Amino acid sequence: SPVAAVIPAAGRGVRLGPGIPKALRTLGGTPMLVHAVRAMAASRAVSLVIVVAPPDGTAEVKSILDAHALPGGSPGGGWGRTDVLVVPGGETRQESVRLGLDALPPGYEIVLVHDAARPLVPVDIVDAVVEAVRDGAAAVVPALPLADTVKQVEPAPVAGRPEPVVATPDRSRLRAVQTPQGFDRATLIRAHETITDDVTDDASMVERLGERVVTVPGHEEAFKVTRPLDLILAEAVLARRRL
Ligand code: CTP
Ligand code: MG
């Protein structure tokens, strides 16, 4: 079955600081979103990419993508074997993903959801996620062990004051999860129809349905560009790749 990838790219990037929407900020001179689309199109399995653009920026995103596609229509031109659609997003990541899923044509039984903010994910990770879904998992997340110990805290009694620590979960059983996350289409759509609470990743919605979610090994270079320091790291990773 062919694979589609939904790329939520409608966020502002508040934590990165003021400026244009995060997905349009450049890395090595190329918008992060273009890197993310290329990363999905690099997988032989992925034949459709649905980009979810800022609601007021759909036309701009389309023209940026056109400007970075290879000249000449498919095959070989555009994004190779991969078609790219652009749809407007929503107020939250969850809403943006749902709007992307609304544009999913019939026939795609495996769906990836990949943050535009993870522009440097290696294609091996994309392929490993697809393979795990093909092997029968309803939901697959790339995951890495944590470097830092994690504390659970109570909210500070007064904002800005020290927060009481209430627990230290066993680090060896914690994982930081990345994207692309991969899903059986029906499971992901049911999750988005059923779960309305605010969540930060799609797999947690599937967990809430009581369905099994599994991990595959993630990759350091699939980190999310969130804060200004992440941009510096991303530029360095890209420069090293171009050596
Ligand atoms: N996203 C989206 N629609 C939203 C909010 C976020 O499509 N309404 C996307 C972002 O564009 C990003 C991904 O979800 O690719 C992960 O979100 P995050 O890293 O939090 O990006 P932003 O929400 O843009 O950043 P911030 O939270 O700092 O504002
Ligand atoms: Mg956000």
CA separation for the pair 101, 86 (Å, rounded): 12
- Predicted confidence at residue 92, as pLDDT, reads 96
The predicted pLDDT at position 186 comes to 98
Instruction: Look at residue 71 in the predicted model and tell me its pLDDT.
Output: 84
Proximal ligand: closest to the CA of 93: 1
Residue 45: DSSP 8-state: T
User: Which pLDDT value is given to residue 157?
Assistant: 86
Q: Which ligand is nearest to the CA of 115?
A: 1
13 Cα: distance to centroid of ligand 2 (angstroms)? 7
Q: Which domain holds residue 32?
A: 3-241
Beta-carbon neighbours within 5 Å of ion ligand 2? 11
pLDDT for 74 equals 58
The count of residues in the chain is 243
Ligand 1 pocket check for 6: Cβ under 6 Å: no
Taking each continuous run of H as one helix and of E as one strand, the counts in the chain are 7, 12
Determine whether the shortest distance from the Cβ of 91 to ligand 1 is under 6 A: yes
Helix, coil or strand: residue 139 = strand
Burial class (CB in 10 A: 0-12, 13-18, 19+), 3: buried
Supply the pTM of this predicted model.
0.97
How many structural domains compose the chain?
A: 1
Rounded Cα distance between 70 and 46, Å, is: 17
Which phi and psi angles does 77 have, rounded to 5°?
Answer: -95, -165
CATH code of the domain in which 87 resides: 3.90.550.10
Exposure class string for 225-234: b at 16+ Cβ within 10 A, else e: beeeeebeeb
In the predicted model, residues of the chain with pLDDT beneath 50 are: none
* Pair 58, 67: CB distance under 8 Å: no
Determine if ligand 1 sits within 6 Å of the CB of residue 208: no
Nearest ligand for residue 51 CA: 1
Distance 119 CA to ligand 2 centre (A): 16
